[in-house]
Chain A
Amino acid sequence: MEFKIRLADVNIAVSSIYDDVYRLCRDYLTDGAPDFCVSPAPADIARERVKNMREAGTEGISPADYPDAYLETLAVYRRIAAEMLRYDTLLMHGAAVAVKDKAWIFTAPSGTGKTTHIRLWLGNIAGSYVVNGDKPLIRVGEDATVYGTPWAGKEGMQKNTGVKLCGIVFLERGAENRIGRTTLSQSLPVFIQQCYRPDDKSGMEKALALIGKLGSRIPLYRLQCNMLPEAAFTAFQTLHADTEQEGYE
């Protein structure tokens, strides 16, 4: 199946074996001339299956028997993420939440509570909405912009929009709610782990350069939080106040 989508202001032609990719991407269809094309092969699907099995092994869990159609959606996004580096755009594993025209990304290893936390925002912070609940794209220029994409985790929380990124929050579980600034140096191992890492050296160096640029241009935070509404208030008050103070208008 062949169609075109627009992600992070870049037009992409997709040629897929299964229809699932098209259904996933229907909010992002475009008629614009493509900037690049992705066309996953059966080998890419097989690679996703091996990767899934390897990761399950690392985590000590049984690998899920995903259908090829689902694995193809992952293969397509992996190809897109690799190409997007040429447009100074990085894929990050995290949940991007926004209030009006300002967004923040909460990132942490799977199972830490990113989705739980952004649900607290949606339920308690007036005007908040999810840009992407799992794998947003970030364009790194003079400013940083976070974009919704169809790849939004099992909850599918996403919006086809681009919002100014005002901070990245490294989330940890805690008994109490506490947020403070962290440095790029302190957060770098987790930061790298949470971003798309290409399989080739030049791609990896480009990704690392973008991470360095992003981390030095926007504030970075460490949030320890529980699952109570106060967690959202604690985070929002600090993030919002810092954003106002730093003149993110």
Chain B
Amino acid sequence: MKLAVEMAVMEVDGEISAVAVGGDSAKFHGMLRLNQSAADIIRMLADDTTFEQMHRTLCEAYTDSTPDEVAGLLSDFLAQLKKEGLLTE
């Protein structure tokens, strides 16, 4: 899976946002406000990846969460992206 549109990520005063880039931005007016883990997921989805690859990377980065917690958060965020039409399988 990967993002259906290319997205640029910005960080200002500790707040992270993602904005669609280029011709595809006509399909998505607006921006996503992200926490750090969501920003990590957006960055990973710039290239084709799998749930398992992202889960592994996030588990290594967020050691204070259990693998099940990470899987739950990852599933929820991917479902949101899919609902917004921002994810291709």
Contacts and interface: CB of A to CB of B under 8 A. Distances in A.
Given A54-B26, A189-B30, A208 B13 contact: no
Interface in B47-81: none
B8 A208 contact: yes
Chain A interface mostly: helix
A201 B29 contact: no
B26 A208 contact: no
Interface string A172-200: 00000000000011001100110001111
A215 B29 CA distance: 20
A204 B22 CA distance: 8
A229 interface: no
B26 to A, nearest CB: 6
Nearest to A47: B23
Measured as residues with beta carbon below 8 angstroms from the partner, the interface class of chain A is 20 to 34
A58 interface: yes
B21 A201 contact: yes
B13 A185 contact: yes
A10 interface: no
B22 A199 contact: yes
B84 interface: no
Interface residues of B, number: 18
A216 interface: yes
A209 B10 contact: yes
Nearest to A50: B23
B29 to A, nearest CB: 7
B21 to A, nearest CB: 5
A188 B13 CA distance: 12
Nearest to B11: A212
A208 B8 CA distance: 8
A188 B15 CA distance: 11
B15 to A, nearest CB: 6
A98 B8 CA distance: 33
Given A201-B6, A205-B8, A184 B13 contact: yes
Nearest to B6: A201
A216 B8 contact: no
B35 interface: no
B22 A208 contact: no
Contacts of A215: 12
Nearest to A192: B19
Interface of A: 54, 58, 184-185, 188-189, 192-193, 197-201, 204-205, 208-209, 211-212, 215-216
8 nearest CB pairs, A to B: A208-B10, A212-B12, A204-B8, A199-B22, A204-B21, A205-B8, A201-B21, A201-B6
29 contacts: A54-B26, A184-B12, A185-B12, A185-B13, A185-B15, A188-B12, A189-B31, A192-B31, A197-B19, A197-B21, A197-B25, A199-B21, A199-B23, A200-B21, A200-B22, A201-B6, A201-B8, A201-B21, A204-B8, A204-B19, A204-B21, A204-B22, A205-B8, A208-B17, A212-B10, A212-B11, A212-B12, A215-B12, A216-B12
